[in-house]
Amino acid sequence: AQSVTQLDSQVPVFEEAPVELRCNYSSSVSVYLFWYVQYPNQGLQLLLKYLSGSTLVESINGFEAEFNKSQTSFHLRKPSVHISDTAEYFCAVSHRDDKIIFGKGTRLHILP
Amino acid sequence: EAGVVQSPRYKIIEKKQPVAFWCNPISGHNTLYWYRQNLGQGPELLIRYENEEAVDDSQLPKDRFSAERLKGVDSTLKIQPAELGDSAVYLCASQPSETYEQYFGPGTRLTVT
């Protein structure tokens, strides 16, 4: 069975500082990996995904995540956060046409 | 392009009462999902539709929950009777064919008192 672990429920970080949101998964087969973002009072939006190919994937707003098969991780990083990045971030895993399993989420707090 | 529409956005009911949620997916998206998101948790799948067919309802508590997707477009999720533990945000998502990206609606926040 697949599962996702987001190690941090909340991450406070100063504006313009770098951030890393951790995600580990467990699966015995090859997986697809996702990061979704949920801004306050809004639905979830896909931030980036890994399906195959390059292990480093990027989003249009400066986030990136690297698929590390040996460590079964898919950590999300941004070199410099902005106040507008305040949101909850969900890591998710699926296997082909199987259902997506979401982590519990990490709330990113941007400090002025 | 209009996004996934859900209504109502908020609903407060007393326990043992029925409640229904409605979802209109993005036009052309064949796959539709209903999730439940408890406070401090990620979304958990309740049911997945491919067109009109429920292809995965293994997580749907069938004693009190029901869902339908007539004509393969709009969908309704019903709870009857509601229990205190059903308080959560109910999310609808749709997905186009041949992709792995789900598009979520804003959700319905249900409070059972």
Q: Which of B43, B56, B101 is opposite residue A102, by nearest beta carbon?
A: B43
What is the percentage of chain A residues whose pLDDT exceeds 90?
A: 70
pLDDT recorded at residue B67:
97
Cβ of residue B41 closer than 8 Å to a chain A Cβ: yes
pLDDT recorded at residue A60:
83
Report CA Rg, chain B.
13
Question: Distance, in angstroms, between A45 CA and closest chain B CA?
Answer: 7
Question: Distance, in angstroms, between B107 CA and closest chain A CA?
Answer: 7
- In order, the DSSP letters of chain B are ----EEE-SEEEE-TT--EEEEEE--TT--EEEEEEE-TTS--EEEEEEETTEEEE-TTS-TTTEEEE-GGGS-EEEEESS--GGG-EEEEEEEE-TT----EE---EEEEE-
pLDDT recorded at residue A97:
65
Determine the Cα–Cα distance for residues A63 and A73; give it in Å rounded to an integer: 16
CA A82, A41, B39 angle in degrees (round to 5)?
A: 105
Taking 70 as the threshold, does the pLDDT of residue B1 lie above it?
no
pLDDT recorded at residue B74:
96
Residues of chain A scoring pLDDT < 50 = none
Determine the Cα–Cα distance for residues A68 and A46; give it in Å rounded to an integer: 20
Residues in A closer than 8 angstroms to B4, CB to CB, are 43
For the segment B19-52, what is each residue's pLDDT rounded down to a tens digit? 999 999 999 999 999 999 998 889 999 999 999 9
**Mutate: best of B33, B49, B104, B108, partner A, most A CBs <10 A:** B104
